[in-house]
Amino acid sequence: MADTAALLREGRVVESGPVDRLVADPHSALGNALLPDRPVSPNRQGLGTWRLTYQGQSVPTDWLTRLGADHGLDVHVLSATVEEIAGRAAGRATVAVGHDRADELTSALAGWGIHAEPVPPERIPPADEPARSAPVREAVTEAVA
């Protein structure tokens, strides 16, 4: 994989940077194209859905276990992908957690270098449909250098 990447639109660079920083930015169209979300398993009734993005230099590999053991959180993994980019873990996950535990979830994850943002129900595609937003589809079809 390249160390840096650029997104071109109509011959102009609209986004560029080191790959590890791009994939750590949950709002980067290019980062989302390079490390896309995976299809999501059906959500559990009464739970909130969260999109997680690794942002820290050393996200603990046991963060899921620690959410349960240290915080008593019952976390449902709906999709996930983790790989090494530029010598560090890069990952995205979609999880479901009880609505009443959202503050505890986001606080614990932030302490480990994981960004969490809620996913509105209407933005959760079924498991048989790729989980890509419009900007990501555009980025995939544009030139990546």
Q: What is the average pLDDT value for the chain, to the nearest integer? A: 84
Per-residue confidence (pLDDT) for residue 126, from 0 to 100 = 61
CB 94 within 8 A of CB 40: yes
Highest mean pLDDT among 76-85, 106-115, 122-131: 106-115
Residue 144 has pLDDT above 80, yes or no: no
- Which tops the pLDDT comparison, 75 or 36? 75
Dihedrals phi, psi of 88, to nearest 5 degrees: -140, 160
CA atoms of 75 and 19, how far apart (whole Å) = 29
Per DSSP, 109 falls in state H
Lowest mean pLDDT among 21-30, 69-78, 134-143: 134-143
pLDDT in tens, 42-69: 767 889 999 999 998 889 999 999 999 9
Residue type, position 103, single letter: D
CA atoms of 87 and 111, how far apart (whole Å) = 21
pLDDT in tens, 102-118: 999 999 999 999 999 99
Per-residue confidence (pLDDT) for residue 124, from 0 to 100 = 67
Lowest mean pLDDT among 38-47, 89-98, 131-140: 131-140
**Share above pLDDT 70 across residues of the chain, in percent, rounded to a whole number:** 81
Q: Rounded to two decimals, what is the model's pTM?
A: 0.76
Domains of the chain and CATH, by start? 4-141 (3.30.70.260)
Structural tokens at position 118: 């809620």
